[in-house]
Amino acid sequence: MDRATAVCDRVAAPRPTLTPTPAAAAVRAPVPTPAQTPALPSAPAPAPTRLREPFIDWLELKGYRPPTIKSYVHVVKHFANFITCPPARMTRQHVHDFLLYLKRDKKLEPRTINLHYYGIKSFVDFLLPDAGDALMGGFCRMREPHKQPRILSREEVERLVNAAANLKRKALISLMYSSGIRLSECVNLTLKDINRDRKVLFIRQGKGGRDRYATLSDRTLHILEEYYRLYKPLTYIFEGKTPGKPMRHRSVESVVSLTGYQAGLGRRISAHMLRHSFATHCLEAGVSLQVIQLLLGHAQIGTTAMYTHVSAQMLQSAKSPFDTPLPQQPLVTPVMQQPKPRRHYSRHGRPRTRTSSTRKARGRA
């Protein structure tokens, strides 16, 4: 047999079939297409609790504002997770342990603990109105420490404005300082709230649901005009990434804090410090407390009066008595006093007086 015939026979011979192992079969298994892939069971969406929506409706009918409602709902959720029992079965001991947990373990500030206290109290009034005294009796708000507001000097404000990374941040910081408005009021300002003729800002439904007007400086108005020509906001003055939606509060705080770090101020700067600085600088410029109260939107004049304790000019105007020299007294020549005549006293401690009988007896002697 020649070589060509042998090669043809090997090619034509049937090849033995190999049985694949289970591992090899799994590897060679066809990959299913997306249409053939079975859909995984989706996780059920968290259904709202049975008391959440009625509690929100109850708070709205009571006249609470959306930020307060949001805080109270969060407090009740935290409290419900702590007691691990149905809210209708909570006891006074549960409230006591929860408040003590916030104070000792969480180490929260008294102001935050008071927020939890009022949130639980509102929920008890909603769910168990007849058992309010039994559950919340003996509890009261904690005494909050009186802290002096931290302010910036005029030079530090200029450094902060000039250190802004872009025109939007510069306009944001300039507006908050020059008008003294709150952070929530700043992000809710719309283009219609600017009155260029009167140079005022209309604050719609500020803290406590009160409308008011705030001042608008010429320098800030010029910066806002440049900002509008460049960014062209739709509805709100300062909008976030979504057009027509306001900036988030946390974004504004981050902008102010980062700009303060870039300015090299050496401390953490918050958005509310700009409001404190505005009030203090107005007071040092001679603006009356009543006008500052109207500009800031304070309900009581006592809240505005706290800025008198941080005004540098008022503190420096009070001169320390240690720096005041003592008055020079004139030298007086001492005068020799004549000795008083000696008086005779009786055994009873009363001065003796010479009667007529005594004089007669002495005359006879």
Catalytic positions are: 182, 207, 272, 275, 298, 307
Cβ atoms 245, 239 nearer than 8 A: yes
The SS3 call for residue 15 is coil
Candidates 91, 9, 178; CA nearest to 170 is 178
How far is residue 115 from each of residues 108, 178, 235, measured CA to CA in Å? Answer: 11, 31, 33
Cα angle 194-199-200, degrees, rounded to a multiple of 5:
60
- 160 φ, ψ to 5°? -65, -45
DSSP assignment of 146-180 equals --PPP---HHHHHHHHHT-SSHHHHHHHHHHHHH-
Per-residue three-class SS string for 210-252: CCEEEECCHHHHHHHHHHHHHHCCCCECCECCCCCCECCHHHH
Q: Which amino acid is at 62?
A: K
Record the tokens describing residue 114, joined without a space.
Answer: 């008071």
What's the rounded Cα separation, in Å, for the pair 240 and 35?
39
Q: Which residues pair with 213 in a beta bridge?
A: 202
Residue 154 has, within 13 A of its CA and on its CB side, a CA count of 7
* First CA to last CA distance, the chain: 196
What's the rounded Cα separation, in Å, for the pair 173 and 81?
40
What's the rounded Cα separation, in Å, for the pair 191 and 168?
15
